[in-house]
């Protein structure tokens, strides 16, 4: 049995702030400790013993991993893995969700040779297809700087390094976690239907286990 625990970092925005899409080029610190500590407590309460702890080299991921260590009273050091640094949102880096959707709608209109002299409100009516496709099937919106095959390859190579009877935790970001499901012999559509999408919350825990050479998702987007 091999166990891979995937953790998303804690909050980088206060409740009164408007969040933006923060990618790998923006190194924000955490604004709270509650979620990281809740993950550590979750491990203790569920008698999960970690052999190794990895984190992407960003303040938010490193700080969350350290909070897990502190709360669970672990002795391991954090192993930095740059392969799991958050994706690059390109022109949407540090933009609000509405700004992102507006840009993507305009791209859609242009690609489909539709009239552009309509209001922003009308543009938004063309739906949320780009974002919903991202949240259900990991379809990367136009303009984002993401090499999907390389991220999936990193997940597979990382999982292959886990030894038998070893439990490994990695703290990374939402954009990277979306590409973990290909570890399974299952398509995104069925995975999304079973788990309510592939987007995960801040401070969430997802657990994959490998028995007899086959990975299975035991938990997805658990909020301790």
Task: Check residue 127 and give its pLDDT.
Answer: 44
On the 0-12 / 13-18 / 19+ scale of CB atoms within 10 A, 202 is: buried
> Cα angle vertex 147, ends 210, 82, to 5°?
65
The rounded percent of the chain whose pLDDT value lies above 70 is: 92
85's CB contacts (< 8 A; 6+ apart) are 24, 56, 57, 58, 172, 173, 176
Cα atoms found within 13 Å of the Cα of residue 165, Cβ hemisphere only = 0
Alpha helices (H) along the chain:
34-45, 59-72, 97-111, 120-124, 129-137, 148-160, 174-177, 188-195
- Cα 210 to its chain centre, rounded Å, is 20
Q: pLDDT, tens digit, for every residue of 25-66?
A: 999 999 999 999 999 999 999 999 999 999 999 999 999 999
Question: Residues 165-187: what's their mean pLDDT?
Answer: 95
Q: pLDDT, tens digit, for every residue of 77-90?
A: 999 999 999 999 99
Task: Check residue 125 and give its pLDDT.
Answer: 59
Three-state DSSP state, 129: helix
Beta bridge mates, 25 = none
**Where does the pLDDT of residue 199 fall: very low under 50, low under 70, confident under 90, or very high at 90 and above?**
very high
- Tokens read off for 20: 């933006």
Task: Check residue 133 and give its pLDDT.
Answer: 78
**Where does the pLDDT of residue 75 fall: very low under 50, low under 70, confident under 90, or very high at 90 and above?**
very high
Q: What is the largest CA-CA distance in the chain?
A: 60
**Where does the pLDDT of residue 132 fall: very low under 50, low under 70, confident under 90, or very high at 90 and above?**
confident
pTM of the shown model: 0.91
């Amino acid at each position: 049995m091999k166990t891979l625990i995937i953790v998303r970092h804690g909050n980088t925005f206060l409740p009164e702030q408007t969040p933006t899409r923060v990618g790998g080029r923006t190194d924000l610190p955490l604004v709270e400790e509650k979620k990281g500590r809740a993950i550590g407590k979750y491990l203790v309460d569920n008698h999960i013993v970690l052999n190794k702890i990895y984190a992407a080299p960003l303040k938010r991921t490193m700080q969350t991993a350290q909070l897990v260590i502190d709360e669970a009273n672990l002795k391991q050091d954090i192993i930095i893995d740059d392969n799991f640094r958050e994706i690059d949102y390109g022109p949407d880096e540090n933009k609000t969700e509405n700004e992102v959707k507006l840009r993507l709608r305009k791209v859609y209109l242009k690609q489909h040779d539709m009239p552009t002299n309509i209001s922003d409100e009308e543009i938004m009516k063309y739906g949320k297809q780009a974002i919903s496709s991202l949240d259900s099937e990991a379809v990367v919106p136009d303009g984002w700087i993401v090499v999907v095959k390389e991220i999936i390859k990193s997940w597979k190579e990382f999982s292959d390094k886990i030894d038998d009877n070893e439990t490994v935790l990695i703290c990374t970001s939402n954009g990277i976690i979306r590409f973990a499901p290909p570890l399974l012999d299952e398509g995104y559509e069925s995975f999304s239907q079973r788990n309510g999408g592939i987007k995960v919350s801040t401070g969430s825990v997802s657990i994959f286990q490998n028995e007899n050479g086959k990975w299975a998702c035991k938990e997805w987007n658990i909020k301790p």
